[in-house]
Structure 1
């Protein structure tokens, strides 16, 4: 057990977030079995400097229920947390719940839903899986079809929002090489891998234009952002039709004039053609000409969690659907993820999945489920799930916790110690993650609130006080 926990809790900083230093064949996890496909164009991951957080003592004292009740009981019932706070604290090593307040009450999780999405996609796709974006030959010589595989991080060029993303300019160069002496004349696009509505019906009406979410399409660039620049407040204007925008960027890189058109029905095969050319030397329609591939799934999950990226979350949910043989839609994704939760042996009482991001107000889960999931991921029993910790924001260090826990004396103890996913919808605030006590014991915790009327800053402060108290007390 101690070895597993050490692998989880030694972190280093990447340019785009965090990654876990883990035992085992990391290089193999980040590799790719290309088979007979065209060689994908893939950028290597960014280098990493030294360690940030150290290993744990697996024999450290366990907090008691009485000690936790004394330490956080009044904080849990604080009016700033609204009409109800559902809370569970679980010891990671034993898996036992050591404190609960309405821990079995299904509550809107907001963005802490992404923990379920992360676990489901890592369990089904694996940490090394890469999402392809392909180009196949069109109906006539010189015509090509850009085929979206669901990579939300795809970039138009080296000016990317996501470091290490696959790039359309490199895909265009590889396509020209595959065409040989045949000049490209027309670009079609195919984004049919994802089906159904591009927005979940349970989302608030302002989400499509609110800058923190976008349409869920199988072909997109920079998470549907109109510009790859990172804005200070996290807001980014999004394309209403990301597949059209991506196709235009590809056509520009390919040097093809004119507006790209949807691919003719039936013109895109499910996979690469068995033979790249016909006996006459011409390229058969449907033949795969080139592909680029996303960073490995471990990086995509990292991007999703560290900055609570909603577009990536919905793309990851659809990857779960595809892995389970279901339609890549909201309906297919929720059915697939619910199935995976059961396969992981987790108690799913009260679980209602509407989406992968947690933007829907019809999502429901319990702190019992969240903490059980975190404990399973940290246990080493499912090594692929440990990758979740790579993207969890660290208090006063990274992502959505980068500006929290740094000022008030009652919260400073958590800086660099709490690693958690946050969630915010109007009336609902949440935090779920892991924390090391002053005695060195690793705990999983989840706090889900409902009926909040206080300001967001006030409620976040109340959540932070609970996590910071867990960090600074032995609670025995």
Structure 2
């Protein structure tokens, strides 16, 4: 299941959409509005992992460890000059190992946590304070959205947008609606705000097309609409996804052309989805365009003249939506567009190599990561808790574009999926405002990972997985354990 249980929306007004480009598009880059230089994955924030825990992580995840420098050969003294006998230095002892005394052992033994994996790290020092299976890559549920967001922010600028276009069709009187992967495109009237702030509207696109068509008196009546969703290929529903996700309103079939995330209700985060998103989009655009007598599937002719273009929300807005209310559809959009941008393919299989490539520049060992989808719905995704603690240290430091993730995280008792009535309630309310983290839920696990501003002023990064035979009560057990981390701070004992 998805971890979303209530409606919500990111704060702030969307930026104005940029003007349409004049040149004919070429590939995915022509469908992206660039406002500043792209942060290329291989060049972002190359940083050496700090601390012994980081070395262990690299070894465990099959990254090549740095070879130790050979000890220098001692230089022999010349024997011609007598050497005075040195005075023996007083013996020194190593400083005593710090003993931390704040224990969460009782909280971690809660049976509601089922098979617990967890790691907590001091974000400033890189020291691992608490570890239970932190090097083992396991299913993440919706915490995977943080990994997807980091990959997207390594490849795209936070200000980038994605285009939906209409071009002239091959037959007289026909136009082609070309999907650019924007799942937020809306069939609602312009001026309305759906669940996706900053979304483009079909009626705006239809007005552009009508104006361009009627500006040429030689055009015949516009009677046919062709729908081109070829940007994404392969299956539209991953075999590992639970069909209930669609039936309950958490996830549509994934296509490059859809409107409102294929929701029945464009204004509700949780809303039933259909079985043919392309058809829904086509019918809505034909109605907005008027006069269309035939709708069919096809592809745009090469070099066809563009008649109109609208733009998605920015990547920053998309990341915010994917995190704050755990929107699966936007997360899948971002993952697929990362794959297309990096040239690994256009289907589900292209996501794993693309995301792993995009993450390279963050300088964190990635060996155990397996990426099946962008949303975390698949139980076959795998990320070690240790990867997340290190990634969140970089998020907290706002390295590269990662500050976008920090700004979009749910906050205990304050914002997003951690502000719902069943999170950080009762005694755990002491941590309100101090836990900034992504929630996760599928049928075989509950997860939580992010940043804790601890009671003693220490910033901790953490990841908690409760895996196996779990119920909704695992959420409260995770919150209680995270509150224990908050109370302990840098005195957290690994007992």
TM-score normalized by the length of structure 1: 0.80
Identify which of 296, 305, 321 aligns with 2:339: 321
Q: Assess if the C-alpha contact under 8 Å between 1:93 and 1:379 holds in 2.
A: no
Specify the alignment match of 2:459 in structure 1: 442
CA drift at 1:35: 5.2
Quick one: distance in 2 between partners of 1:135 and 1:35?
Answer: 13
> Which whole-Å CA distance do the structure 2 matches of 1:31 and 1:164 have between them?
8
Matches within 5 A, 1:236-275: 236-263=271-298, 265=299, 267-269=300-302, 273=303
The correspondence for 1:357, drawn from 341, 365, 375, is 375
- Whether the 8 Å CA contact 1:188–1:260 is kept in 2: the answer is yes
Give ranges in structure 2 of 5+ residues lacking alignment: 1-7, 25-29, 34-96
Matched positions, count: 408
* Residue aligning to 2:124: 93
1:423 aligns with 2:423: no
Deviation at 1:247, TM superposition (A): 1.1
Secondary structure of 1:90's partner? strand
* TM alignment of 1:120-199, pairs within 5 A: 120-158=151-189, 159=192, 160-179=194-213, 180=215, 181=217, 182=219, 183-199=221-237
Partner-residue secondary structure (3-state), 1:260: strand
Q: In structure 2, what is the Cα distance between the partners aligned to 1:317 and 1:366?
A: 19
Deviations 1:248-304 (A, max 9, x none): 1111000133341112x5x333xxx5xxxxxxxxxxxx1111100001100001111
Instruction: Describe the shift of the 1:171–1:34 C-alpha distance in structure 2 as closer, same or farther (beyond 3 A).
Output: closer
2:67 corresponds to: none
Partner SS, residue 482 of structure 2: helix
Please, what is the CA RMSD of the aligned residues?
Answer: 2.6
Structure 1 position 78 matched with structure 2 position 116: no
Query: CA offsets, 1:85-122, max 9 Å, x none?
Result: 11111222233322211111121111111110000011
CA–CA separation in structure 2 for the residues paired with 1:298 and 1:438: 30
Give per-residue Cα distances to partners, 1:215-242, cap 9 Å, x unaligned.
Answer: 1100011111122131xxx531112111
How far off its partner does 1:80 sit? 1.0
Q: How does 1:45-84 map to 2 (within 5 A)?
A: 67=100, 70-82=102-114, 84=115
Q: In 2, distance between residues paired with 1:256 and 1:424?
A: 46
CA distance 1:170–1:411, shift in 2 (3 Å): same
Q: Which residue number in structure 1 is paired with residue 399 of structure 2?
A: 381
How far 1:349 sits from its partner (Å)? 2.9
Aligned pair partner of 1:312 in 307, 330, 338 = 330
Q: 2:485, 2:224 → 1: CA distance?
A: 60
CA distance in 2, matches of 1:261, 1:436: 55
Contact 2:413 2:420 (C-alpha < 8 Å) held by counterparts = yes
Q: 2:322 aligns to what SS in structure 1?
A: helix
Seen in structure 2, the aligned counterparts of structure 1 residues 414 and 452 have a Cα distance that, compared at 3 Å, is farther
Q: Is the 8 A contact 2:229 2:256 kept in 1?
A: yes
Is 1:411 the counterpart of 2:428? The answer is yes
Say which SS state the counterpart of residue 437 (structure 2) adopts.
strand
SS in structure 1 opposite 2:161? coil
Distance 1:96 1:414 in 2: 22
Compute the displacement of 1:155 (Å): 0.3
Q: Is the 8 A contact 1:65 1:99 kept in 2?
A: no
Summarize the Cα distance change of 1:18–1:66 in structure 2 as closer, same or farther, 3 Å threshold.
farther
Query: Match of 1:213?
Result: 251
For residue 407 of structure 1, report the CA deviation from its aligned partner: 7.0
> For the residues of structure 1 that align with 2:368 and 2:152, how far apart are their CA atoms?
21
TM-fit CA distance, 1:152:
1.1
CA distance in structure 1 between the aligned counterparts of 2:151 and 2:201, rounded to whole angstroms: 27
Query: With structure 2 as the length reference, what TM-score do the two structures score?
Result: 0.77
Partner in structure 2 of residue 9 of structure 1: none
In 1, are the aligned partners of 2:396 and 2:403 still within 8 Å (CA)? yes
Distance in 2 separating the partners of 1:321 and 1:95: 31
Secondary structure of 1:135 counterpart: strand
Is structure 2 residue 54 aligned with structure 1 residue 36? no
Task: Decide whether the 8 Å contact of 2:154 with 2:359 is kept in 1.
Answer: no
> Is the Cα contact below 8 Å between 2:187 and 2:203 reproduced in 1?
yes
Distance across 1 between alignment mates of 2:163 and 2:489: 48
Structure 1 or 2, whichever has the larger Rg, is 2
